[in-house]
Amino acid sequence: MVLRLCREVDELSTLLLGNPEVLAQLLLSKNRKTIAYSVGVANKLHDNIISKFDLCSEDRVCYVRITVGDKYVLRVLTVRDVIVAASKEVGEKVELAGLKAFEELEKALKGDNVIKVVIEEIGVENLGVELVNRLRDCYSKAVKDFIAIWMNKGVYGYAVDSVLSDKGAYMYVFKARNTAMGTQHVLKIVREDVVLAGRHMDYLRGYAQAFLALSVMQKDLEMLLSVRGLNERLAERLIKFRKNIVLPIAIIVPSNGASITKYITSPPAVVEEYGSLGDLESYVKEGRRVSYEEGMYIFYHITGAVALTHSVAIPHLDIKPRNVILFGDSTEPFGYTVKINDFSGSLNIPGRGWELRRITPAYADPLAIITGFGDYDYDVYSIAMTIIYTLTSSIPKHRLYLNTLLLNNLYNLGLPLPPLSEEEQDLRIFAEKVSETIASHSREKLGEVLQKMSSDVAKLDEKYIATSLRDIPKNIMLILFKGLSLKKEDRYRNAIELYVDLGKALQGAFKWL
């Protein structure tokens, strides 16, 4: 069990444990029962003590009193796995409170001192409504203890200013500041469960791929394009899209083994440049109406960046609005530069393709979902779907249904299906046909059968995509639909082909081209 830490632990520790009157009110509760009592060597009791915290109800607090020999007393209040207050008392004086006291608790439980531990469950009825609400709020917004330590002490010379995301499956993401230079960055730390399982390189590899794409020189690019049978002069245009890939400033891979203690002090991490305007998904969700020209600006620059990476044999395999970052730039026509981020880091399995490590249902190539392997055309599909989302603020339901049904049936994911209205009977019929097709064919045959269903999908594309984009020029619509084709021979093979066609279609249309 990994404990989390209330973000207001310092203030609540002073209020609850540093104030004798408030502590007395808590301890005078009639709803009080002993959960555990132990005496022994600290490091042998550690796991047993921590596991007891989860026995306390959410509407009560766990009160822990640890006496370390005759040296000092540690008091801790938790709500389930969240530490809301901590103090260290020497004699009758509170010497430390909050995060610093919690760090003393960790040291004490890992030492070889003889300790006495009493754990009680106590009702909070004597604390008053305001304080109880603060405890509940604290519980709902809690972070893990090591996140609190990083926020308090920093890590690798970076001061952590705020948590951008602690809900991701692979990374914790922070807004951080280089303490020596004062510059803002994004600090990404691989999650502890991934590190302890020894899989952190699977998720750091993508940042190394981005760095490789950013490092390519024009002469090398000319040679690589020539090998593909493409015009070498294309390199002069593609090399400019290096500015549309997020720069990994540092990739940190400690060689000190895996344990929670080592993880806290030296976690595997990535430092990146900071995009002040956030990601494209948030930009669209905030209600901004993206015009045709702005949509094409985004389309052109995403495609160019991915075409550059494809030129050096690196597919992204996780293009989606959340992985498109907007960097404020007054010199650009819409006030920002578009940059792609978070390469999947997939490995190429000879004869099969790149093994899919991350699948986002709305943006994944259905044919690749079936095989579990992607290729360059996977990115083409994802780019097209990203642009449709950008222009319409929604994902076409029939495409989402198709992918969700495939993932649920082939991988047993149990993903929820979006609800259908009475007016969407055609989608209901389509979903039933897809389900029957999946159930009646082997995985080996399913891709071939699905390609034969492309006419069914095309009819729904016309209704649910083309209608929403009726003001988009026909040549751009044809490019988008070619990118979404379920027939592999009809889809662009890579983003280079997509970029060439898009460039021709947009030629002379906008001043920024």
Average pLDDT over residues 393-419: 92
**Domain boundary residue among 81, 116, 147?**
147
pLDDT value for 43: 82
**Domain boundary residue among 147, 163, 196?**
147
pLDDT value for 2: 62
Query: Residue 242 domain-assigned?
Result: no
Which residue, 78, 80, 83, 74, is CA-closest to 108? 74
Lowest mean pLDDT of 140-149, 354-363, 455-464, name the range.
140-149
Q: Identify whether the C-beta of residue 355 lies closer than 8 Å to the C-beta of residue 372.
A: yes
Q: How many helices (H) and strands (E) does the chain have?
A: 21, 18
Question: Would you say residue 353 has pLDDT above 70?
Answer: yes
In terms of residue numbers, what domain contains 20? 4-147
Q: Identify whether the C-beta of residue 367 lies closer than 8 Å to the C-beta of residue 450.
A: yes
Average pLDDT over residues 348-364: 93
Q: Identify whether the C-beta of residue 36 lies closer than 8 Å to the C-beta of residue 78.
A: no
Q: How many structural domains comprise the chain?
A: 2
pLDDT value for 460: 96
Confidence of residue 371 (pLDDT cuts 50, 70, 90): very high
Average pLDDT over residues 59-78: 88
Query: Residue 29 domain-assigned?
Result: yes
Question: Would you say residue 69 has pLDDT above 60?
Answer: yes
pLDDT value for 32: 86
d(CA 302, CA 384): 10
What CATH number does the domain containing 396 carry? 1.10.510.10
Query: Residue 168 domain-assigned?
Result: no
The owner of tokens 């602690």 is: 166
Query: Residue 258 domain-assigned?
Result: no
**Domain boundary residue among 85, 113, 147?**
147
**Tens digits of residue pLDDT in 232-283:** 889 999 999 999 999 999 999 987 667 777 888 899 999 999 999 999 999 9
Which helix (H) or strand (E) segment holds residue 445: the answer is helix 443-452
List Cβ neighbours of 270 (8 Å cut-off, separation of 6 or more): 171, 187, 188, 204, 207, 248, 250, 251, 252
- How many other β-carbons are positioned within 10 Å of the β-carbon of residue 184? 14
Higher pLDDT, 195 or 498: 498
Percent of the chain residues topping a pLDDT of 90: 59
pLDDT value for 136: 82
| Per-residue tokens: 149 | 């330590």
List Cβ neighbours of 458 (8 Å cut-off, separation of 6 or more): 481
Lowest mean pLDDT of 42-46, 239-243, 369-373, name the range.
42-46
pLDDT value for 370: 95
| Per-residue tokens: 488 | 């592999």
Query: Residue 463 domain-assigned?
Result: yes
Average pLDDT over residues 76-97: 87
Question: Would you say residue 511 has pLDDT above 90?
Answer: yes
Query: Residue 432 domain-assigned?
Result: yes
Average pLDDT over residues 161-167: 85
- Among 91-100, 198-207, 306-315, name the most confident range: 306-315
d(CA 316, CA 123): 52
Higher pLDDT, 453 or 337: 337
Over the chain, what is the mean pLDDT?
Answer: 91
Confidence of residue 513 (pLDDT cuts 50, 70, 90): very high
pLDDT value for 35: 86
User: Where on the phi/psi map is residue 154: left (φ > 0), alpha (ψ -120 to 50), or beta?
Assistant: left
Confidence of residue 137 (pLDDT cuts 50, 70, 90): confident
**Tens digits of residue pLDDT in 453-475:** 999 999 999 999 999 999 999 99
Query: Residue 487 domain-assigned?
Result: yes
Phi and psi at 62, nearest 5°, equal: -95, 125
| Per-residue tokens: 412 | 């047993």
Query: Residue 398 domain-assigned?
Result: yes
pLDDT value for 256: 64
Distances from the Cα of 21 to the Cα of 15, 16, 208, angstroms: 10, 9, 56
Q: What is the 3-state secondary structure (H, E, C) of 409-421?
A: HHHCCCCCCCCCC
Higher pLDDT, 383 or 138: 383
The helix/strand/coil state of 178 is strand
Q: Identify whether the C-beta of residue 402 lies closer than 8 Å to the C-beta of residue 409.
A: no
User: Where on the phi/psi map is residue 74: left (φ > 0), alpha (ψ -120 to 50), or beta?
Assistant: beta
